[in-house]
Amino acid sequence: MVSADFPYAERYPVNRVLPEHGRPREEILAELREMAELEDRTWESGRVSGTMYSGDHEHYEFLNEAFGRYAHVNVLQRDICPSATRFEGEIIAMALDLMHAEAARGSGHEPVGMVTGGGTGSILHAVLAYRDHATQTRGVGSGGFNIVKPETAHPAFDKAGHLFGVEVRTVPVDPVTTTVTAEAMAGAIDADTIALVGSAGNYPYGTIDPIADLGALALEQGIGLHVDGCLGGFILPFGQELGQDIPDFDFRVPGVTTISADTHKYGYALKGTSTLLFRDKAVRNSQYFAHTRWSGGKYHSPGMEGSRSGGLLAATWASMVHLGRAGYREYAREIFTAADAMKEAVRSHPQLRLMGSPTFCFSFTSDVFDIYHVYDAMRARGWRFNGQQYPNAIHMATTRPQTQPGVVEAFAADLSDAVEIAEGKHAAGEVAASSGIYGSVPEALLDQADPVIREVMAQMLDQQQSLPPAP
């Protein structure tokens, strides 16, 4: 018997070796359709945080056709597929327009960009570009490199530091506002600092760091400022247009030198694309790779990836051109309306507390009971949130599926029931089931627990990449 832990092992044949004879195409497609339909049911109800930013099957079908026309194309071969240059150039131009690159041009810079494989890819390339540009122009590096970021900034910055030998200096955020202060960031800067980081907004709380203050600090220190708009980049600009209380965070802010913004989130493209935008071309070009003495010929690439599918460029371009500003603005209106209503549902319970002043993405905790009691009760009703720690909190990224009729009302009703359940479990002294998985480890046990947690995380990654078990 095949282990039931291996996905779909009891439903479909398991491939432990490459089959000698292939299966009919229609049989394979039928299997794929069935799995997709089973998995769609998880998020189509609108009870999943983030993940499916569009949730519109007609839109996905449109993107799939665009992708399919170019999926087989390798964009390294621009002589064979000049369309890739059109798609990529126009994606970058539209993203620069959204981030007010005209303000950068007015100060004598040449704004440019690149398309990457996702938010992590954009962040990695930004740190690499800052490192290499600092080496080329400032002689930084003999004492090491460092970037300074708020604790709430994405772990991809820490991954970049790990990969590229850049020290990552993490600054605590204000526990009330959940944003960093320029004064706190200034205390971590030294002669080897190559860039600061701010988020618009940060993933944990959906709050926006004081980008104007950080920009002024970056100019004063003569270093870069990366604004991580991976999550908010394709919705916050339209929130501004709709009158939401959103401060400027883009190239209109002096001192902002790079911005990451994910097209595969609120840009409603297919997974696997993001944009990285530069105030000045010289910073982008500093991380270009070229090898001139290989027997296979001269090799060069704009980023870490070599081969890329033209399908992702075509689908991203198609999404942006199809929706236009009016389409994005209308979706943003619906999402902000839903998010505001969900936040009001949280505020209606004095036992709960919103973290900071969030936007379309928000988190809430409790000072009365372990918030994971609420998490468990909501999960039993089909909700899939992200659990947070330090402090324990529940995270919700509002997307288009939450704008469906009845979803916000269901959230409010289920939350009321969950709060009542949480109070009862707290009074009975019960421990929340999910707290042991997602919750904060007591500070006194952090050093002791860290190796154990890392091992558990490694086991989870092993399981996700596990081979089919033997029969």
pLDDT digits (tens, 9 = 90+) for 53-107: 999 999 999 999 999 999 999 998 888 989 999 999 999 999 999 999 999 887 7
- The residue among 437, 425, 428 whose CA lies nearest residue 370 is 425
| Segment 9-18 mean pLDDT | 91
* Residue 470, pLDDT above cutoff 70: yes
pLDDT in tens, 42-54: 888 899 999 899 9
pTM value?
0.93
Hey, what are 150's tokens? 């708020």
The pLDDT assigned to 3 comes to: 42
Instruction: Report whether 372 contacts 438 (CB < 8 A).
Output: yes
The pLDDT assigned to 60 comes to: 96
Distance CA 219, CA 225 (A): 9
* Residue 342, pLDDT above cutoff 80: yes
Instruction: Report whether 136 contacts 286 (CB < 8 A).
Output: yes
Q: What DSSP character marks residue 172?
A: P
List the CATH number of the domain containing 235.
3.40.640.10
Distance CA 390, CA 352 (A): 16
Domain-located, residue 419: no
Using DSSP, state whether 289 is helix, strand or coil. Answer: strand
- The residue among 156, 236, 140, 241 whose CA lies nearest residue 193 is 140
| Segment 235-262 mean pLDDT | 97
* Residue 461, pLDDT above cutoff 90: no
pLDDT in tens, 403-439: 999 999 999 999 999 999 999 999 999 999 887 677 7
Q: Greatest CA separation found in the chain?
A: 73
Domain-located, residue 268: yes
- The residue among 42, 40, 43 whose CA lies nearest residue 32 is 40
Using pLDDT thresholds of 50, 70 and 90, give the confidence band for residue 142.
low
Surface-to-core class of residue 303, CB atoms within 10 Å of its CB (0-12 exposed, 13-18 middle, 19+ buried): buried
Count the neighbouring beta carbons within 10 Å of the beta carbon of residue 216.
Answer: 16
* Residue 113, pLDDT above cutoff 80: yes
Distance CA 190, CA 55 (A): 45
pLDDT in tens, 348-376: 999 999 999 999 999 999 999 999 999 99
CA dihedral 427, 431, 435, 441 (to 10 degrees): 100
Distance CA 232, CA 207 (A): 10
β-pair type (393-397, 361-366): antiparallel
Using DSSP, state whether 93 is helix, strand or coil. Answer: helix
pLDDT in tens, 279-311: 999 999 998 999 999 999 998 888 899 889 999
Alpha helices (runs of H) in 8-51, residue ranges in sequence order: 25-43
Exposed e or buried b per residue across 222-236, where buried means at least 16 C-beta atoms within 10 angstroms of its C-beta = ebbbbbbbbbbbbbb
Mean pLDDT of the chain: 93
Dihedral sign from CA coordinates of 268, 274, 280, 285: negative
Domain-located, residue 309: yes
- The residue among 351, 345, 343, 342 whose CA lies nearest residue 424 is 351
- The residue among 174, 172, 168 whose CA lies nearest residue 155 is 168
Instruction: Report whether 156 contacts 186 (CB < 8 A).
Output: no
The pLDDT assigned to 143 comes to: 66
- The residue among 238, 211, 319, 262 whose CA lies nearest residue 50 is 262
Distance CA 325, CA 291 (A): 41
Domain-located, residue 343: no
Distance CA 433, CA 73 (A): 48
Q: What DSSP character marks residue 263?
A: T
Give the count of domains, the chain.
Answer: 1
Domain-located, residue 283: yes
Distance CA 399, CA 383 (A): 14
Hey, what are 12's tokens? 């479909």
Hey, what are 64's tokens? 């799939």
Distance CA 316, CA 310 (A): 10
Q: CA–CA distance from 162 to each of 137, 151, 159, 326 (Å)?
A: 23, 16, 5, 41
Distance CA 329, CA 335 (A): 10
- The boundaries of the domain holding residue 153 are 83-318
Q: What DSSP character marks residue 272?
A: S
* Residue 114, pLDDT above cutoff 90: yes
Instruction: Report whether 260 contacts 233 (CB < 8 A).
Output: yes
Domain-located, residue 278: yes
455 Cβ partners below 8 Å, 6+ apart?
none
Q: What DSSP character marks residue 74?
A: B
Domain-located, residue 14: no
The pLDDT assigned to 144 comes to: 85
Percentage of residues of the chain with pLDDT beyond 70: 98
The pLDDT assigned to 457 comes to: 79
pLDDT in tens, 187-231: 999 999 999 999 999 999 999 999 999 999 999 999 999 999 999
Domain-located, residue 30: no
The pLDDT assigned to 2 comes to: 36
β-pair type (299-301, 224-228): unpaired
Using pLDDT thresholds of 50, 70 and 90, give the confidence band for residue 463.
confident
**Angle at CA of residue 113, ends 109 and 118, nearest 5°:** 150
Distance CA 42, CA 278 (A): 38
Before 198, cis peptide (omega within 30)? no
The pLDDT assigned to 1 comes to: 31
Radius of gyration of the chain (CA): 23
The pLDDT assigned to 140 comes to: 63
